[in-house]
């Protein structure tokens, strides 16, 4: 690292921090104006608003716009260097263009590493704060978030292993009990066991489920047999914390927790896991996009143009918009269709890696 490297790296990091703080202030101002009524209804003081919401909201905004912050920062300060002919002077001194890119690569790797660690461990912890506020004070009043399916409220139908299916009716998360329960075991596409209970209750002392007024039905080559029990304890492979319909679950789990959750649900045969898988792969793909957008930004802004910084920023905004659109499209195709989740997370990076290479080859050196 020579003096010119420290000079560029310092400009990179200072401009990035400035952009991040500026956009964060704007986001907080807009969001607070929209949620003023919610804060009043919750009867929160200023300290409670900060602790119970914005300590989660601000990291969420950072993780969401982190690549954009980096991209704008690179274009902004590099364009100013090009306008003042600093880049021409650097290259005229005998420094190769690839050598000139070294501090940008170092800065991009540093910021990508910060985002990688943050998206895996720090951001999910902050999302717990934001999602709790969202669930308790905003979603409760939203009829689209509290719809029941038919006449069933808080119902669950789960596959707990490859052959066993359970259904739970009116589960209460506070008392950890339900008003109705059934379990079926399938073998060779035939029901070989059926259990129905009027109520179920989690026993915290023995860590097992208790079922009351139970009817068991066995089906085998002999025929059908019935057994009735007033109380029955079953070591069901299902814990109370798994009985939740949490729209923010994928945002609240750290990456190791998310990987274990996906693995467990795949063993159970649960469907609709593509959204979780895309989130898992994106936590690696987005930090890689930081380095990629850094290279695109410097290649665009290092060329001196008649439009100056304005032209560079306009071109950068267009490229950033295309990047975000491609990311959204691939995500929708993965969640709603049969598009592979890993490819959905990495496809924008793959496409824009080609764009970055094409721009690099055309840049005067």
* Angstrom distance (rounded) from CA 70 to CA 111: 8
Question: Is residue 261 one of the residues assigned to a domain?
Answer: no
Between CA 7 and CA 83 the distance in angstroms is: 17
Helix (H, G, I), strand (E, B) or coil at 365: coil
Identify the three-state secondary structure at position 202.
Answer: strand
23 and 92 both lie in a single domain: yes
Using CA atoms, how far apart are residues 262 and 268, in angstroms rounded to an integer? 10
- Considering the domain architecture, whether residues 136 and 171 belong to the same structural domain is answered as no
Q: What is the pLDDT of residue 21?
A: 92
Q: Rounded to an integer, what distance in angstroms lies between the CA atom of residue 292 and that of residue 300?
A: 13
Residue 151 backbone phi and psi in degrees, to 5? -100, 5
In a domain, 17, yes or no: yes
Q: How far apart are alpha carbons 121 and 129 in whole angstroms?
A: 14
pLDDT in tens, the chain (365 residues): 788 889 999 999 999 999 999 989 999 999 988 888 888 888 888 888 889 899 999 999 998 889 989 998 998 898 888 888 888 888 888 888 888 899 999 999 999 999 999 999 999 999 999 888 888 877 766 555 554 444 565 788 888 877 888 888 888 888 888 888 999 998 888 888 999 999 999 988 888 999 999 999 988 877 788 999 999 998 888 888 777 767 788 888 999 999 988 888 887 767 778 888 999 999 999 999 999 999 998 988 887 666 556 677 777 778 878 887 888 788 887 877 778 889 888 988 998 899 889 888 887 76
Q: Can you count the helices (H) and strands (E) in the chain?
A: 13, 7
Question: What's the Cα-to-Cα distance from 24 to each of 28, 32, 45, 291, rounded to whole Å?
Answer: 6, 12, 21, 22
* pLDDT, position 305: 65
Range of the domain at 16: 3-141+271-362
Q: Give the residue among 281, 286, 241 at the shortest CA–CA distance from 264.
A: 241
Does one domain contain both 132 and 203? no
Cα–Cα dist 36/40, whole Å: 6
At 65 the three-state DSSP class reads helix
Residues 135, 28 within the same domain: yes
Same domain? 178 vs 125: no
**The pair of three-digit structure tokens given for residue 104, joined into one six-digit string:** 């940008």
Rounded CA gap, 271 and 277, in Å? 12
Residues 203 and 135 in one domain: no
| Long-range contact set of residues 190-196: C-beta below 8 Å, sequence gap at least 24 | 190/219, 191/219, 192/218, 192/219, 192/220, 193/217, 193/218, 193/219, 194/219
Determine, yes or no, domain membership for 205.
Answer: yes
243: number of Cβ within 10 Å = 17
Same-domain check for residues 20 and 130 = yes
CA distance linking residue 7 with residue 281, whole number of Å: 35
**Tokens in use for 304?**
């001196």
Residue 146 counted as domain residue: no
Residues 30, 120: one domain? yes
Helix H or strand E segment including 158: strand 156-159
Going from the C-alpha of 239 to that of each of 19, 118, 344, the distances in angstroms are 45, 29, 32
Radius of gyration, alpha carbons of the chain: 27
9 and 136 assigned to the same domain: yes
Q: Looking at the structure, do residues 110 and 11 belong to the same domain, yes or no?
A: yes
81 lies in the same domain as 224 = no
262 in a domain, yes or no? no
Dist. CA 16–CA 346, nearest whole Å:
24
Q: What is the pLDDT of residue 88?
A: 85
Could you tell me the two tokens for 359?
């721009």
Residues 22 and 118 in one domain: yes
Q: Does this model's pTM top 0.95?
A: no
């Amino acid at each position: 690292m020579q003096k010119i490297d420290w000079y560029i790296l310092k400009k990179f990091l200072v401009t990035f921090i400035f952009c991040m703080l500026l956009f964060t202030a704007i986001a907080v101002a807009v969001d607070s104006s929209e949620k003023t009524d919610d804060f009043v209804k919750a009867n929160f003081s200023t300290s409670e608003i900060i602790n119970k919401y914005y300590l989660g909201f601000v990291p969420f905004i950072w993780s969401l716009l982190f690549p954009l912050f980096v991209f704008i920062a690179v274009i902004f300060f590099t364009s100013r260097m090009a306008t003042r002919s600093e880049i021409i002077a650097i290259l005229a001194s005998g420094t190769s263009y690839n050598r000139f890119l070294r501090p940008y690569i170092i800065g991009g790797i540093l910021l990508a590493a910060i985002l990688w660690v943050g998206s895996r461990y720090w951001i999910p912890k902050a999302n717990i704060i934001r999602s709790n506020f969202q669930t308790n004070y905003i979603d409760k009043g939203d009829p689209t978030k509290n719809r029941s399916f038919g006449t069933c409220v808080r119902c669950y139908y789960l596959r707990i292993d490859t052959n066993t299916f359970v259904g739970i009716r009116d589960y209460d998360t506070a008392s950890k009990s339900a008003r109705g329960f059934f379990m079926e075991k399938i073998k060779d596409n035939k029901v070989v066991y059926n259990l129905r209970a009027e109520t179920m209750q989690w026993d915290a002392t023995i860590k097992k489920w208790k079922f009351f007024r139970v009817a068991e039905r066995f089906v085998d080559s002999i025929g059908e047999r019935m057994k009735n029990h007033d109380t029955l304890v079953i070591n069901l492979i299902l814990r109370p914390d798994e009985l939740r319909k949490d729209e923010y679950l994928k945002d609240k789990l750290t990456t190791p927790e998310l990987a274990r959750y996906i693995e467990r649900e795949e063993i159970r045969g649960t469907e609709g896991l593509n959204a979780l898988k895309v989130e898992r792969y994106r936590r690696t793909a987005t930090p890689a996009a930081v380095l990629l957008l850094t290279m695109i930004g410097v290649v665009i802004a290092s060329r001196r143009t008649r439009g100056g910084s304005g032209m560079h920023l306009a071109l950068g905004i267009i490229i950033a918009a295309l990047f975000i659109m491609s990311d959204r499209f691939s995500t929708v195709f993965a969640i709603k269709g049969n598009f592979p989740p890993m490819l959905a997370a990495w496809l924008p990076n793959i496409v824009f890696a080609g764009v970055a290479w094409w721009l690099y080859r055309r840049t005067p050196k």
